[in-house]
C-alpha cells in the first residue's frame, strides 16, 4: 500500500509510508530522506512548519537534549556521582560537582540516596548518548514531598496546552503546584484531594489503553479541560 | 517437510482441503496495544495460529558487554507456549526457537533504525500461544506491528509470509496438513514499500520456475497483509472512532 | 532487573493508608475488574484467558499417557507450572526460571492439587499400565499486579473446560475431565501498614509482605504462602482470612458461570 500523501493537512502515517514533498521542504525529525523521496519512520502525524516537514510521533521514547528539565530517580551511586533513571534509553549522571551541595567524596548518601527523585536539568549529551545533568539552577532540587506521575513525553505538550492554558486550569482546579518535566514526568504538590484530582486528569494519558495519547484519550482530555 | 507428495492435498476441483484457492491466505486478524505492561504490543491470529508480541525499550543494555557503541541491539525471543502444539512442549532451551529468534532479530534489525540508540537494547518478546504451521511468519509480522506501536523508528514495515509446494503445485500459506505432507516451504520477510527481502528461508524441493511462482504469490500476499498492519495501527490510534 | 522503589511512592502509599485510601482509588478489599474467556486455544485440551485489571494470563491443559508410579498403580498425576516469561513485564529477565517464577508455579500448584479438585484415581486408564498425566501450564503475558490470583483463576477455569483426548490416544471416547471443586486463591499485600486485597503494580512495588490464601468450596483452606519481607499479627491474618472467604465465593461464581 504505497499511499502517497499530499497537501498540507495533518496526515496519519505509519513507518515506511511515502510522504510527498512537492514543496521541496527539508526533512525533520521522524522523516527519513531516501533516494525515492521522504519516508515516515514512526506512527504519527506529518506536520509542516517553517519549511520543515516533520513527524509528530504518537509514541516515542524520551531522547534527552541539553537544556531539558527532567525528573529522575536515583538508581545507583558511586563515590562521586549519582546515576539517574530519566525514563529514556540512557541513564543520566549527576557528578558531585554539579550538585547544589558542598559534598565530600564518598559522602553523597548524606544528601540523596537510591530511590530519591530529583528535578534536574540536562547539561550535556555527548555523541554516545552519555547524559550529564546538573542540579545547579533555579528550582532544581531533590523532590521529597508530593507525588511524581508519568504521563509520557508525548503527552506533555497536550497536558500543558497552548500557552499553558490547560496546565493553568488544572492548577486552579486542584490548588496544586505542578511541574511538568520534558521527560514526561510530572511533580505534583498539594493537598491529598488536589493530588488525587491531578492524578485523575493525568490518567487520561498515563492509564490510557495505549502507551500513547490516541485520539480518544485526547478528546476525553480536551472535554475535561472544557469542563474546568 | 514431510515430503509425502502422494497425500492428496488438492481436490479435483483445484481447491485445497480447507477450500482455499492456490494463492489464498488463511484468515488474518491484527490487533494493536493488547498487553498493558508493554511499551508496544500486537496480537495476531493467522488461521489457527495465535501470536502475541510485547516490545520493551529502548533501554540501557545490560550486561555491558552486549552494548554496541554505534547502535541498539535487538534482543528477540521467539517462544512457543507449552500448550501451543498438539504435543506439549517442555519449557526451556530449544534449538528451533533459538534459530528462529536469531533470524527474526536479524530481519527486524534490517528495518529498525538501530543507529539512533547506541548502547541501548530493545526487547521483542514473541509468544506463540497456538501453532498451526507458519508461526515464524506470524511472529515476524506481528513483531513489526508491535515495534511500530512502541514508537521505535523504522525505515519500513516488515511482512513475513510463506509459499510452498503440495502435490507438485505451488500454493500460498501452507496450513498444518500441507506443511506436514508438503514438498517445499519458502518463508520470506519483505519490506512492503521497497519490496526488498529481509528474511529468507527455504526447505524442500523447488524448480527455478516454481521458486519464481512461489515468490510471486508471496509478494502479492505481502500487500494484503501490509494493509491489515496499516489498518490495525491506525485504528488503535483513532481509539476505535474514525 | 532489580526494581528500585521510589521513596516518594512509599511515602505516598503510607499517607494514603492513613485515610484508608488506595493509589488507584479502590476500597481496601475491592477487586479490579475481571474478564474471563474459556476455550481460547485450539491446540490445548482445555484453556482460558483471564484479564484481571491490566494483568493478562493464559492457561492451557495438555494430556499425555504414561506408566503409573509403582506405589500408586491406579493414580494419574496433575502437574501445574506457571511461567513468568520476560514478555510479562520489563522487570522479568530472560534466562532460567527465577525463584519468583518457581514460587508462583508451586503456590498455584499446591492450591489446585491440595483442594482435591481432581481425583487422581479418575485418571487411570489401565491400572498398573497406563494413566493420564495432566499438564496445566500457565503463561503470564502482562503483569500489572496480582499475577498469583490471576494464574490460579485461569488454571482452574482451564481444567474445568478440559476434555480428555482419549480418542486421539486410542484408549476410548473423549470425555470431560472430572473436576469437582473450584479452589480459589486470594492474595493480600501489606501496603502502608495494612493489608489490601488484589494489589496493583504500584502497591506491589511499594508494599511489604504478601499473603496468598487458597480456599476450597467448603471454605477449607488448601494452601497458604507468605512472601517477601515483613511480619504480621494473627489478628491481621484473621481479618484477611475472613475476607478471603467472601472474595472466593464471588470468584467461584465467575468460574461457574463461565463453565457450565
Cβ proximity of B101 and B77 under 8 Å: yes
Domain C7-258: CATH superfamily is: GHMP Kinase, N-terminal domain (3.30.230.70)
pLDDT at B238 over 90: no
Which residues are within 8 A (CB) of A170 and not within 5 positions of it... i.e. 6 or more apart?
A159, A176, A178, A198, A201, A228
Chain B residues within 8 A of A32 when measuring between CB atoms: 113, 155
pLDDT at A2 over 50: no
Nearest to A117 among C8, C15, C25 (CB): C8
Partner-chain contact B37 C90, CB within 8 Å = yes
Interface of C with B in 60-89 (CB under 8 A): 60-62, 64, 81, 83, 85-89
Closest approach of C92 to chain A, Cα-based (Å): 17
Chain B residues within 8 A of C94 when measuring between CB atoms: 75, 77
Closest approach of C239 to chain B, Cα-based (Å): 31
What is the reported pLDDT for A203?
81
Cβ proximity of B127 and B53 under 8 Å: yes
Cα-only R_g, chain C = 19
Partner-chain contact B155 A12, CB within 8 Å = no
Closest CA to C162 of A148, B88, A120: B88
Closest approach of C21 to chain B, Cα-based (Å): 24
Conformational region of residue B33, where left means phi above 0, alpha means psi within -120 to 50, and beta covers everything else: left
Chain C residues within 8 A of A148 when measuring between CB atoms: 6, 8
| Domains of chain B by start residue, with CATH | 28-237 (3.30.230.70)
pLDDT at A4 over 50: no
Interface B:C, Cβ pairs < 8 A: 95
Nine-digit cell at C149?
490470583
| Domains of chain A by start residue, with CATH | 4-57 (2.40.50.100), 69-143 (2.40.50.140), 147-227 (3.30.1370.10)
What is the reported pLDDT for C260?
67
Chains that touch A (3 or more CB pairs under 8 A): B, C
Chain C residues within 8 A of A115 when measuring between CB atoms: 4-7
Partner-chain contact B83 C42, CB within 8 Å = no
Burial of A50 per CB tally in 10 Å (0-12, 13-18, 19+) = exposed
Partner-chain contact B83 C143, CB within 8 Å = no
Closest CA to C179 of C152, C154, C153, C161: C161
Nearest to A39 among B57, B120, B155 (CB): B155
Mean pLDDT of chain A: 86
Chain C residues within 8 A of A117 when measuring between CB atoms: 6-8
- C5 touching chain A per CB within 8 A: yes
Q: Per residue in C180-205, pLDDT tens?
A: 999 999 999 999 999 999 999 999 99
Q: A218: pLDDT confidence band, cut at 50, 70 and 90? A: confident
Nearest to B156 among A16, A44, A212 (CB): A16
Chain B residues within 8 A of C62 when measuring between CB atoms: 82-83, 87-88
Partner-chain contact A211 B38, CB within 8 Å = yes
Instruction: Please give the residue of chain C at the shortest CA–CA distance from B55.
Output: C87
What is the reported pLDDT for A209?
58
Report ipTM for this prediction: 0.94
Which residues are within 8 A (CB) of C157 and not within 5 positions of it... i.e. 6 or more apart?
C36, C38, C48, C50, C59, C255, C258, C259
Is the torsion defined by CA of C184, C190, C196, C201 positive or negative?
Answer: negative
Question: Which residues in chain C come in under a pLDDT of 70?
Answer: 1-2, 260
Q: Per residue in C55-91, pLDDT tens?
A: 999 999 999 999 999 899 999 999 999 988 999 999 9
Chain A residues within 8 A of C12 when measuring between CB atoms: 147
Partner-chain contact C4 A143, CB within 8 Å = no
pLDDT at B242 over 70: no
Which residues are within 8 A (CB) of C70 and not within 5 positions of it... i.e. 6 or more apart?
none
Chain B residues within 8 A of C1 when measuring between CB atoms: 62
Q: Per residue in B75-129, pLDDT tens?
A: 999 999 999 999 999 988 899 999 999 999 999 999 999 998 988 999 999 999 9
- A106 touching chain B per CB within 8 A: no
- A42 touching chain B per CB within 8 A: yes
Partner-chain contact C4 A144, CB within 8 Å = no
What is the reported pLDDT for C154?
97
Q: Per residue in A65-89, pLDDT tens?
A: 999 999 999 999 999 999 999 988 8
- C1 touching chain A per CB within 8 A: no
Nearest to C6 among A115, A192, A196 (CB): A115
Instruction: Please give the residue of chain B at the shortest CA–CA distance from C200.
Output: B37
Rounded to an integer, the average pLDDT of B51-60 is 94
Closest CA to C85 of C61, C57, C60: C57
- For residues B77 and B96, what is the distance between their CA atoms, to the nearest angstrom? 12
Q: B240: pLDDT confidence band, cut at 50, 70 and 90? A: low
Indicate which of C5, C8, C53 best probes the interface with A, i.e. most A CBs within 10 Å of its own CB: C8
Query: How do beta strands B49-60 and B120-130 pair?
Result: antiparallel
Partner-chain contact C7 A196, CB within 8 Å = no
Partner-chain contact A192 C7, CB within 8 Å = no
Nearest to C8 among A75, A113, A147 (CB): A147
Partner-chain contact B130 C135, CB within 8 Å = no
Give this prediction's pTM: 0.93
What are the boundaries of each domain within chain C?
Answer: 7-258
What is the reported pLDDT for C1?
52
Chain C residues within 8 A of B48 when measuring between CB atoms: 42-43
Of A225 and C49, more confident: C49
What is the reported pLDDT for A6?
42
What is the reported pLDDT for B8?
84
What is the reported pLDDT for C212?
97
Burial of A104 per CB tally in 10 Å (0-12, 13-18, 19+) = exposed
Instruction: Please give the residue of chain A at the shortest CA–CA distance from C54.
Output: A209
Collapsed DSSP state (helix, strand, coil) of residue A14: coil
How far CA A222 is from CA of A60, A160, A169, A187, in Å, comes to: 22, 11, 12, 21
Of C111 and A127, more confident: C111
Partner-chain contact B39 A59, CB within 8 Å = yes
Amino acid at each position: 500500500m504505497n499511499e502517497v500523501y499530499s497537501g498540507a493537512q495533518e496526515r496519519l502515517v505509519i513507518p515506511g509510508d511515502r510522504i510527498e514533498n512537492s514543496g521541496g521542504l527539508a526533512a525533520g525529525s521522524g522523516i527519513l530522506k531516501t533516494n525515492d523521496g521522504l519516508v515516515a519512520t514512526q506512527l504519527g502525524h506529518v506536520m509542516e512548519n517553517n519549511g520543515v516537514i516533520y513527524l509528530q510521533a504518537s509514541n516515542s521514547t524520551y531522547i534527552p537534549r541539553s537544556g531539558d528539565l527532567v525528573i529522575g530517580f536515583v538508581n545507583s551511586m558511586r563515590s562521586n556521582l549519582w546515576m539517574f533513571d530519566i525514563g529514556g534509553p540512557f541513564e543520566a549522571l549527576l557528578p558531585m560537582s554539579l550538585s547544589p551541595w558542598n559534598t565530600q567524596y564518598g559522602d553523597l548518601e548524606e544528601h540523596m540516596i537510591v530511590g530519591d527523585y530529583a528535578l534536574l536539568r540536562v547539561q550535556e549529551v555527548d555523541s554516545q548518548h552519555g547524559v550529564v545533568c546538573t542540579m545547579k539552577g533555579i528550582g532544581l532540587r531533590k523532590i521529597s514531598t508530593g507525588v511524581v506521575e508519568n504521563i509520557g513525553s508525548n503527552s506533555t505538550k497536550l497536558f500543558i496546552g497552548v500557552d499553558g492554558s490547560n496546565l493553568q486550569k488544572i492548577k486552579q482546579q486542584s490548588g496544586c503546584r505542578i511541574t511538568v518535566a520534558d521527560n514526561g514526568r510530572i511533580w505534583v504538590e498539594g493537598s491529598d484531594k488536589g493530588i488525587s484530582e491531578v492524578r485523575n486528569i493525568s490518567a487520561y494519558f498515563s492509564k490510557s489503553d495505549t502507551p500513547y495519547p490516541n485520539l480518544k484519550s485526547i478528546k476525553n482530555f480536551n472535554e475535561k479541560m472544557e469542563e474546568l | 517437510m514431510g515430503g509425502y507428495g502422494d497425500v492428496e492435498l488438492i481436490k479435483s476441483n483445484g481447491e485445497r482441503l480447507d477450500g482455499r484457492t492456490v494463492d489464498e491466505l488463511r484468515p488474518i486478524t491484527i490487533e494493536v496495544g493488547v498487553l498493558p505492561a508493554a511499551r508496544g504490543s500486537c496480537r495476531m491470529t493467522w488461521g489457527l495460529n495465535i501470536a502475541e508480541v510485547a516490545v520493551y525499550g529502548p533501554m540501557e543494555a545490560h550486561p555491558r558487554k552486549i552494548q554496541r557503541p554505534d547502535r541498539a541491539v535487538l534482543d528477540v525471543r521467539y517462544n512457543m507456549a507449552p500448550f501451543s502444539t498438539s504435543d506439549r512442549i517442555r519449557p526451556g532451551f530449544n534449538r528451533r526457537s533459538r534459530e528462529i529468534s536469531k533470524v527474526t532479530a536479524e530481519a527486524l534489525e534490517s528495518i529498525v533504525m538501530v543507529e539512533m540508540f547506541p548502547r541501548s537494547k530493545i526487547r521483542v518478546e514473541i509468544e506463540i500461544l497456538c501453532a498451526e504451521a507458519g508461526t515464524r511468519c506470524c511472529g515476524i509480522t506481528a513483531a513489526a506491528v508491535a515495534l511500530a506501536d512502541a514508537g521505535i523508528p523504522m525505515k519500513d514495515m516488515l511482512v513475513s509470509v510463506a509459499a510452498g509446494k503440495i502435490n507438485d503445485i505451488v500454493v500460498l500459506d501452507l496450513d498444518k496438513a500441507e506443511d506436514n505432507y508438503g514438498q517445499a516451504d519458502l518463508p520470506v520477510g519483505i519490506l512492503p514499500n521497497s519490496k526488498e527481502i529481509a528474511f529468507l528461508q527455504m526447505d524442500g524441493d523447488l524448480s527455478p520456475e516454481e521458486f519464481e511462482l512461489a515468490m510471486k504469490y508471496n509478494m502479492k500476499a505481502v500487500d494484503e497483509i501490509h494493509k491489515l498492519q496499516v489498518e490495525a495501527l491506525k485504528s488503535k490510534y483513532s481509539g476505535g472512532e474514525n | 532487573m532489580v526494581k528500585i522503589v521510589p521513596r516518594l511512592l512509599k511515602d505516598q502509599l503510607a499517607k494514603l493508608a492513613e485515610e484508608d485510601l488506595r493509589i488507584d482509588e479502590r476500597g481496601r478489599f475491592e477487586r479490579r475488574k475481571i474478564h474471563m474467556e474459556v476455550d481460547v486455544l485450539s491446540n490445548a485440551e482445555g484453556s482460558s484467558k483471564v484479564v484481571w485489571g491490566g494483568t493478562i494470563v493464559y492457561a492451557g491443559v495438555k494430556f499425555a499417557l504414561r506408566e503409573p508410579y509403582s506405589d500408586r498403580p491406579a493414580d494419574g498425576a496433575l502437574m501445574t507450572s506457571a511461567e513468568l516469561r520476560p514478555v510479562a513485564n520489563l522487570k522479568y529477565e530472560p534466562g532460567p526460571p527465577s525463584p519468583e517464577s518457581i514460587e508462583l508455579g508451586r503456590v498455584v500448584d499446591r492450591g489446585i492439587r491440595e483442594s482435591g479438585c481432581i481425583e487422581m484415581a479418575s485418571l487411570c486408564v489401565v491400572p498398573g499400565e497406563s494413566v493420564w498425566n495432566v499438564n496445566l501450564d500457565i503463561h503470564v503475558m502482562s503483569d500489572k499486579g496480582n499475577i498469583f490470583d490471576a494464574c490460579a483463576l485461569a488454571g482452574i477455569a482451564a481444567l474445568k473446560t478440559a476434555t480428555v483426548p482419549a480418542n486421539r490416544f486410542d484408549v476410548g471416547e473423549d470425555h470431560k475431565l472430572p473436576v469437582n471443586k473450584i479452589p480459589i486463591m486470594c492474595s493480600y499485600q501489606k501496603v502502608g501498614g495494612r493489608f489490601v486485597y488484589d494489589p496493583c503494580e504500584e502497591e506491589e512495588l511499594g508494599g511489604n509482605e504478601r499473603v496468598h490464601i487458597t480456599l476450597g468450596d467448603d471454605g477449607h483452606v488448601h494452601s497458604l504462602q507468605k512472601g517477601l519481607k515483613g511480619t504480621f499479627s494473627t489478628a491481621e491474618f484473621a481479618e484477611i482470612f475472613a475476607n478471603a472467604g467472601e472474595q472466593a465465593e464471588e470468584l467461584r461464581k465467575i468460574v461457574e458461570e463461565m463453565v457450565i
